[in-house]
A = this chain, B = another copy of it.
Amino acid sequence: MSTPETLEVRLGERSYPIHIGSGLLARPELYAPHLAGGRAALVTNVTVAPLYADRVEAALAAAGGHPFRVVLPDGETHKNWENLDRLHGALLAERADRRTLVVALGGGVVGDIAGFAAATYQRGVACLQVPTTLLAQVDSSVGGKTAINHPLGKNMIGAFHQPRAVLADTDTLATLPQREYAAGLAEVAKYGAIRDAAFLDWIESNAERLVARDPDALRHAISRSCALKAAIVAEDEREEGVRALLNFGHTFGHAIESATGYGSWLHGEAVAAGMVLAARLSARLQRIEVAQADRLERLLARLGLPVKPPPLAVERWLEFMGRDKKNREGRITFVLLDALGSASVVRDTPEAPVRELLARA
Contact = CB atoms under 8 A, between A and B. Distances in A.
Interface of A: 37-39, 81, 85, 88-89, 92-93, 95, 97-99, 119-124, 145-147, 150, 152-153, 156-160, 238-239, 322-323, 325-330
Nearest to A240: B98
Contacts of A325: 97-98, 122-123
B123 A160 contact: yes
A120 B323 CA distance: 16
Contacts of A322: 95
Contacts of A153: 92
B37 A97 contact: no
B38 A152 contact: no
B88 A157 contact: yes
Contact of A123 (B92, B93, B159): B159
Nearest to A148: B120
A152 B120 contact: no
Contacts of A157: 88, 120-121
B156 A159 contact: no
Contacts of A122: 156, 158, 325
Most-contacted residue by chain B among A92, A122, A239 (CB, 10 A): A122
A329 B99 CA distance: 9
Nearest to A145: B123
Given A120-B158, A145-B123, A158-B123, A323 B95 contact: yes
A95 B92 CA distance: 34
A120 B119 CA distance: 10
Contacts of A152: 89, 92-93
A156 B88 contact: yes
A119 B159 contact: yes
Contact of A97 (B38, B121, B327): B327
A330 B95 contact: yes
A328 B92 contact: no
Contacts of A147: 123
- Of A37, A121, A157, the most chain B CB neighbours within 10 A belong to A157
Contact of A81 (B37, B85, B123): B85
Nearest to A39: B329
Nearest to A322: B95
A240 to B, nearest CB: 9
A150 B119 contact: no
Contact of A92 (B97, B121, B150): B150
